[in-house]
Structure 1
Amino acid sequence: MMQLTRRSAVTRLAGLAALGVAATMSFSGLAKAEDVLAKAKAKGELTVGTELQFAPFDFVEDGKQAGMNKEIFAEIGKELGVKITFLDLPWPSVLPGLEAGKFDMVAGPATITKARMERYRFSSPIANATVAILKKKGDTSITKPEDIAGKKVGSAKATAQLAQLQEFAKTLNPPPSAIQEYVDFSQSYADLGAGRIVAVANSLPNIAFLAKTKPDVFEVVQPPFGKPVYFGYIGTKAEDAKSLMDAVDAIIIKMKHDGRLAALQKKWFGTEMETPDQVTEASF
């Protein structure tokens, strides 16, 4: 009976050990499978969330996606050996979608702010994001940013540009009569063109591109009023996303050093923009 018990115990221990090894291998395999970059390479596809209402980064032209993001991510896809698939969502839904795991990273791009850096990991910056004012062509009532005092202005919901406009408004006397929040910037530009608001606050590259494409309709107010900030792409801070964001950083930095990024900036903004390889501390 004792022999039988010992044999049973040994058999049980051997079985538990085997289960332990199997479990370790299983968990190790699971962790490897959950790595975002490894999954993308295995699938041959990197899924990117964005909003196609943010020219010149992302917009629709002749029914197709166009803009700087498409061209930068084409380079990223080429370097990683994967296809890039963009998912178009209203901007307020994009970052929650990233957190919910609906896509691998976010193109946007988004302004690199202190609050966002606490929650997300940003790529190496791709452009300057300082905020400026867009007005209707020929509006002589606004010649400098401070002239929006007492007037109805707008920006897009859930954006750093809106936050900076709200902070700037507190310094004005009187403050703007109203700050209209829009689902996307396209709606704000439509209202500006129709005279329902007198100005839109957005990042300088965006409004400079719009004023360039519609010079008879819009005009940029100089100088920009926002603090110096930068645009970057966004991933999560989760450990399984680290390898992807490290790889994206390396590709963007390589593009800065070999001139590919500067060429795209000149194409879409009309000028090259110096950006640091990394933002370690945001100014806003």
Structure 2
Amino acid sequence: MKSLWGGFTAGLLALMLGTGAFGSAAKADDALAKVKAAGELKVGTETQFAPFDFIDAGDHVGLNVDVFNEIGKELGVKIVWEDLPWESVLPGLDAGKFDIVAGPATITKARMEHYRFTVPIADATCAILKAAGDKSIQKPEDIAGKAVGAGKASSQMDQLKAYAATLKNVDIREYVDNSTAYADLAAGRIAGVANSLPNIAYVAQQRPDTFAVVEPPFGQKSYFGYVGRKDDDHKSLMDAIDQALVKMKHDGRLAALEKKWFGLVFDTPDTVPTPNF
């Protein structure tokens, strides 16, 4: 009788694991299955990071908007955006407020310990934006003795601090958003803003009478990627997003969007490289 009962319970357990209650629960926990069931992908970002994410005439626009629209088409879901200050975006992802962070964020060793990044979508090497006509800054090391700003809790701030430590008397200012930093630079309250080369190149292109890029970039070669959770439940979702991005690279859609927003196309790998820092 005991062996018959044991065989019955073993068979029942196998059925539940394969197609019954346990199997359904496991499937329900899968992030990709949840996204597709809901018909929407929730994306957290900060809309103060032109040309990736910004507000123009009341509309949310930028490279990220266009890229995620294409990702939504590939996954068959609608994109739902949530705008937060940058220092709140990654904690929001940790808390499960959204499925992925657009940002994008610089791929670093420290971040990769906690998050999973998508394949790179743009160059992220850090450089300095200065006031147009400021002849006192001809190269990055000329920021010595000057006030320079960068985004609070950003990789660019970390790189600026590390670089400033090799110079003398750099007055580092932290900003909640880049728009405020650019406004202070235009007003002469600071001498430069450290940000990724794509961002400051876009700003200088939009306002050539006000801003100029200091070349070459001072930061180590780095890349931007979108940020997702690293747990097993989110692997299928991140895999699907990676597949969509690689497909967009190979069919030319990503290059066309980069050209639209930056005026150039980035040479980025199809896999996440080992970060330099």
With structure 1 as the length reference, what TM-score do the two structures score? 0.91
Distance 2:15 2:180 in 1: 56
Residue of structure 1 equivalent to 2:244: 251
Q: 1:208 aligns with which of 201, 204, 207?
A: 201
Selected match of 1:36 from 31, 41, 48: 31
Residues 14-41 of structure 1 deviation map (CA, whole Å, 9 limit, x = unaligned): 9977985797533321221111111111
Q: Give, as a single letter, the amino acid of the residue that structure 2 aligns with 1:202.
A: N
Structure 2 partner of 1:3 = none
* Residue 175 (str. 1) matches residue 191 (str. 2): no
Q: Is 1:134 aligned to residue 129 of structure 2?
A: yes
Distance of 1:19 and 1:87 partners within structure 2: 44
Pairing 1:39-118 to 2, within 5 Å after superposition: 39-118=34-113
| Deviation, structure 1 residue 280 | 3.3
1:126-149 per-position Cα deviation (integer Å, ceiling 9, x unaligned): 110000000111111111100000
The root-mean-square deviation of aligned C-alpha atoms, in Å, is 1.9
Q: Distance in 2 between matches of 1:211 and 1:136?
A: 9
Q: Tell me, what secondary structure is at the counterpart of 2:273? A: coil
Matches for 1:162-201 after TM superposition, within 5 Å: 162-172=157-167, 174-176=168-170, 178-201=171-194
Amino acid at match of 1:175: N
Give the AA of the match of 2:91.
P
For 1:277 and 1:15, the matched residues in 2 are separated by 49
Residue-by-residue CA offset, 1:99-132 (whole Å, 9 max, x unaligned)? 1110011101000011111111110101100000
Percent identical among aligned pairs is 62
Could you tell me which runs of 5 or more consecutive residues in structure 2 were left unpaired when the two chains were aligned.
Answer: none
Counterpart-to-counterpart distance in 2, 1:100 and 1:250: 25
2:115 match: 120
Number of aligned residues: 275
2:63 and 2:192 map into 1 onto residues whose CA distance is: 25
Higher CA-based Rg:
1
CA distance in 1, matches of 2:155, 2:231: 23
SS of residue in 2 equivalent to 1:192: helix
Q: List, as ranges, runs of 4+ consecutive aligned residues in structure 1 with deviation greater than 6 Å.
A: 12-19
CA apart distance, 1:156: 0.5
Answer yes or no: is 1:152 the counterpart of 2:147.
yes
2:215 to 194, 202, 222: 222
Q: Report the secondary structure of 2:49's partner residue.
A: coil
Distance 1:73 1:244 in 2: 14
The whole-number CA distance in structure 1 between the counterparts of 2:90 and 2:227 is 9
Distance 2:26 2:206 in 1: 48
State the alpha-carbon separation in 2 of the partners of residues 72 and 280 from structure 1. Answer: 21
* Amino acid in the other structure paired with 2:272: V
Q: Which amino acid aligns with 1:242?
A: K
Quick one: which amino acid aligns to residue 110 of structure 1?
Answer: A
**Alignment match of 2:268 (pick from 255, 268, 275):** 275
